[in-house]
Amino acid sequence: MKLDKPTLLRLALVLGGCVVLYWVLCNLALLASVLGSLATVVFPLTLGFCIAFVLNVPMRFLEKHLFPHTQKKALARLRRPLCILISLLFILAVLAAVFWLVVPELVNAFVVLANTLPPFLTRVITFLQDNADRFPQLEQWLAGLDIDGANTGRELITYLTNQVSSLVDGTVQVISGTVGGITNAVIAFILALYILLGKEKLKAQCAAVCRAFLPDRAAKTLLYVARLSSDTFASFVTGQCIEACILGTLCWLGMTLFRFPYAPMIGALVGICALIPIVGAVIGTVVGAFMILMVDPVQAVLFVIFLLVLQQIEGNLIYPRVVGSSVGLPAIWVLTSVTVGGSLWGIGGMLFAVPVCSILYTLAREITRRRLESKDGC
């Protein structure tokens, strides 16, 4: 092998990589501690970029329709802050509406749960004891239980009373964490405002840095991928919110039609959970079925059947068409990406699989088109 300068450089890079890998493997605990501290510092910045990204979706829509061709400089200067304010008020109004729908019904549900749980447990234990002779293993299991449904509420209060001392000891940590969380939220919100007010200048600066330190072809490719990723994730957020509204509305209408209890609360809850692709409705189904179970077990079973049918419609018709069309991804690839992402990385994989797959699909389609054009040109 000829030891010229490029070969020596590659060998040095390989040896350096091996040394770095060995150091990382020997200092995993230290590296985890450093990364944890770095994550704590970077968290407000990351949260600020996320807030700015979410607010930018309605803000960009408003800017296209609010004084788009005005010649007055005062209106042109006020358009961006006004669009930010309207977008923020819109999101806060949505959150307040969800809070108004969910929290009162949730409080009522817990009151009903506290009143019905002891007699419900008594009925369950009585039923199991009456049928224990049919199942010997069940009889042995029941013999080891010491459950008194009538005293369940009293025992729960006693347990909570005994935990007061430990709760008092943790008050300082809770207050400290709350203050830290509020501080991070304020910093993130201020950062988001600065990003939105000067996003064009920020984009130009990032593009200038890429062109200055990267080859022209690499800089052009990187900027194209960044622009494609931004547009795809914005379209994904829009489509996901539309799909969640559709599913929550259908759930509320169906529950009202079939006279299920807690229709507004469970409809809003299912809509919120639907922000998690495909499996979000399952979470809403479990919580809703548990609430209805305390009122009427038969209705709980019927509710589960209703939600299973609605979830099939949502997963196979609504979601692929609404979200898939918003990100430019065929329905089959939407289902495939959600399935693969959920299998590999759980709920987070399901959430980000669709936009990532859409970006890869668009890049592959663009590369294929260019290669076909080059072959046809030859």
Secondary structure of 38-55 in HEC code, one letter for each residue: HHHHHHHHHHHHHHHHHH
Q: Residue 158 above 70 pLDDT?
A: no
Residue 21 domain flag:
no
DSSP character for 68? T
Least Cα distance to 274 among 225, 301, 239 occurs for 239
In sequence order, the 6+-apart residues with CB closer than 8 A to the CB of 173 are none
Please tell me the predicted confidence (pLDDT) of residue 105: 67
Give me the pLDDT at residue 146, please: 54
pLDDT score of 243: 80
Residue 108 has pLDDT above 80, yes or no: no
Structure-model confidence comparison of residues 101 and 100, the more confident one:
100
pLDDT score at 151: 55
Count structural domains, the chain: 2
In a domain, 308, yes or no: yes
Asked whether residue 157 falls in the same domain as residue 247, the answer is: no
Q: Which 3-state string (H, E, C) describes 262-331? A: CHHHHHHHHHHHCCCCCCHHHHHHHHHHHHHHCCCHHHHHHHHHHHHHHHHHHHHHHHHHHHHHHHCCCH
The answer to whether position 316 is within a domain reads: yes
Least confident of 150-164, 173-187, 239-253: 150-164
Assess whether 168 and 232 both reside in one domain.
Answer: no
In this prediction, residue 15 has a pLDDT band, given cuts at 50, 70 and 90, of confident
- Which of the two residues, 188 and 377, has the higher pLDDT score? 188
Residue 139 confidence (pLDDT): 57
Q: State the number of CA atoms in the 13 A half-sphere of 75 facing the CB.
A: 8
**Is residue 332, in this structure, part of any structural domain at all?**
yes
Same domain for 222 and 168, yes or no, is: no
- 290 vs 112: CA distance, rounded Å: 12
Reported pTM: 0.63
Residues 180 and 63 reside in one and the same domain:
yes
The answer to whether residues 114 and 222 belong to one domain is no
Are both 319 and 369 inside the same structural domain? yes
Is 206 within the bounds of a domain? Answer: no
**Residue 83 confidence (pLDDT) above 80:** yes
pLDDT > 60? residue 190: yes
Q: What share of the chain is helix, strand, coil (3-state, %, to 5)?
A: 90, 0, 10
The reply to whether 152 and 238 lie within a common domain is no
Residues 275 and 343 occupy one common structural domain? yes
d(CA 20, CA 24): 6
**What is the model's pLDDT at position 117?**
67
Average pLDDT over residues 261-288: 77
Confidence tier at 160 by pLDDT (50, 70, 90): low
Residue (of 304, 237, 302, 235) closest to 270 by Cα position: 304
Residues 222 and 338 both lie in one domain: yes
User: Which residue segment(s) compose the domain that 303 sits in?
Assistant: 216-378
Q: How many CA atoms lie within 13 A of 67 on its CB side?
A: 14
Span 291-311, average pLDDT: 84
On whether both 142 and 236 belong to a single domain, the answer is no
d(CA 340, CA 229): 20
The reported pLDDT for the residue numbered 29 is 76
Cα 372 to the center of its chain, rounded Å: 39
Higher pLDDT, 274 or 222: 222
Q: What angle do CA 229, 233, 236 make, to 5 degrees?
A: 140
Residue pLDDT, tens place only, 200-249: 888 888 889 888 888 888 888 888 888 888 887 787 778 778 888 888 88
Indicate whether 358 and 255 sit together in one domain: yes
